[in-house]
Amino acid sequence: MESETKSEIIDGTNRVLCKHGYAGLTMQKIADESSMTTAAIHYHFDTKEELLNVFLDNLIERFTEQLASEATDPRERLRAFFNAVFTSSNPDANGFPVAIMELKTQAPFQGLFRERFLGLDDMMREVVADIVADGIDDGHFEETDPDEVARLVTTTINGAHVRKVALGEPLDETHHVLENTLELHLGWPSGSEVVA
């Protein structure tokens, strides 16, 4: 499939998930939200689940790209991680929590969704644990358990997404709370400037 067609379908799917939720997702609505016909969508995807697996891969891939940082200082890397998670230059940033929560609640019924979310979670925890371990090694962070900090960070991010969806609360609220908590774990105020 050409990548333009694919992005067209993926973007349409994102808009439908954000407007109508998983329960309201139909091939017809995706066609309405894109320049494709339902026949063209069916030509590329046999089922809604097949389409959503590709959609999820794409969502995770774009998110993973956002997490990539060129910084080497663990404090800068942690800051970049939080910026990628809690804010975004992507105009769809507000839609991301809605789309991802819609699919997460389908995980008990869709094994392939669950596999992808387990992979995403492993990746995120590994990124954070690496940053924390490096920061301890180079003396910028206090001695602590990197895996446990990573688990706290990912669980809190999961919570931020639910709060955005269920309560309409901005992600910033959780960013602020997490920064203050990490200061206790790492002995480093992550909201502050990094002085080399």
| Contact residues: a second copy, CB under 8 A | 18, 20-24, 98, 101-102, 104-109, 113-114, 117-118, 121, 148, 151-152, 154-163, 165-168, 173-174, 177, 180-181, 184-185
CB of 62 to a second copy, least distance (A): 18
Q: Residue 8 or residue 178: which is nearer to a second copy going by CB?
A: 178
Q: Residue 6 or residue 22: which is nearer to a second copy going by CB?
A: 22
CA distance 115 to 49: 14
DSSP string of 112-154?
HHHHHHHHHHHHHHHHHHHHHHHHHHTTSS-S--HHHHHHHHH
In what helix (H) or strand (E) does residue 76 lie, and over which residues does it extend?
Answer: helix 74-86
CB of 64 to a second copy, least distance (A): 17
CB of 142 to a second copy, least distance (A): 11
Picking from 30, 70, 74, 65, the residue whose alpha carbon sits closest to that of residue 51 is 30
Q: Catalogue the E-assigned strands of the chain.
A: none
Q: Residue 21 or residue 40: which is nearer to a second copy going by CB?
A: 21
CB of 44 to a second copy, least distance (A): 22
CB of 26 to a second copy, least distance (A): 11
Q: Residue 47 or residue 180: which is nearer to a second copy going by CB?
A: 180
CA distance 110 to 102: 12
122, two tokens: 């492993």
Q: Residue 1 or residue 61: which is nearer to a second copy going by CB?
A: 61
